[in-house]
Amino acid sequence: MAEIILNVDVRENTGTGGARAARRAGSVPGILYGGDKAPVAISVNEKDFRKSLYTGKLLGHLVTLKYGDETQPVIARDVQFDPVSDRPLHFDLMRVDAKQTITIEVPVHFINQDQCAAFRQGGTLEIVRHTVEISVQADHIPEDLVVDLKGHKLGDSIRISDIKLPKGVEPTISDRDFMIASIKVSSAAIAIDQIEEAIAEEQAEAEAAAVEAGDVPATEQDEDATEA
């Protein structure tokens, strides 16, 4: 993965007014915090910030903050967006040491659904956790936690123990084998089965009634006569 570098400027004007001024100048305002230093108001060129966002490697990953000749490893903790235009409005960066153990949430990614027979049998994936909080060294944060659905059956519960965690990654919930997802029979599949069962029952009842009434199809009568 290519290293992401954020070239930042320190904002002298803080607060709402300072953030608006940064946006008017084509920048995204943010805050740098953490470590044993005071929070610092910063800003990043919006076009450059968007490019970093579009890589999908910014949030929750170790990136390099650059200010002049100084560099600092940081974790992008949060980005706020305009609900209408989706324009980035504000971001939070946390100072870290690259070898520091941190707590962070990473997404869960499900693969090989097309190779899982349970879904061809009407099963649906019910996701309990889209992210899992882990403890990991800052420079070894995984992209995601991968769940391989191949071989799973209807009714299976997928738990954290079913995920092959990368070396050095530990879930922060350590007192139980918590659930990630389950494979359940969909309501649509149940409804189809119920309809098919009802049709089969009606057909059986109709055939039984026809036999009792002596109203047997000619072909069946011929077969009975032949057997006699």
Q: What pLDDT, on the 0 to 100 scale, is given for residue 1?
A: 41
SS (H, E, C) 24-93: HCCEEEEEEECCCCCCEEEEEEHHHHHHHHHCCCCECCEEEEEECCEEEEEEEEEEEECCCCCCEEEEEE
Q: Which amino acid is at 62?
A: L
- CATH assignment of 5-96? 2.40.240.10
Nearest to 43 by CA among 30, 26, 57: 30
Q: What pLDDT, on the 0 to 100 scale, is given for residue 55?
A: 85
Per-residue tokens: 161: 């123990």
Q: What pLDDT, on the 0 to 100 scale, is given for residue 112?
A: 93
Tens place of pLDDT for every residue, the chain, 228 residues? 447 899 999 998 778 888 899 999 999 999 999 888 899 999 999 999 999 988 888 888 889 999 888 899 999 888 999 999 999 999 999 999 888 899 999 999 999 999 998 888 888 899 999 999 999 999 899 889 999 999 899 889 999 999 999 999 999 999 999 999 999 876 555 455 555 666 677 677 677 777 777 665 544 544 554 454
- CATH assignment of 102-185? 2.170.120.20
Handedness of CA 85, 89, 94, 99 (dihedral sign): positive
Per-residue tokens: 224: 């009975």
Q: Where are the domains of the chain?
A: 5-96, 102-185, 188-227
Q: What pLDDT, on the 0 to 100 scale, is given for residue 68?
A: 84
CA distances from 4 to 29, 110, 209 (A): 18, 26, 77
Q: What pLDDT, on the 0 to 100 scale, is given for residue 188?
A: 55
Nearest to 6 by CA among 41, 56, 51, 40: 51
Beta strand pairing call for 101-111 and 145-148: parallel
Output the DSSP codes for 99-164.
Answer: T-EEEEEEEEEEE-GGG-HHHHTTEEEEES-SEEEEEEEGGG--S-EEEE-TT--TT-EEEGGGS-
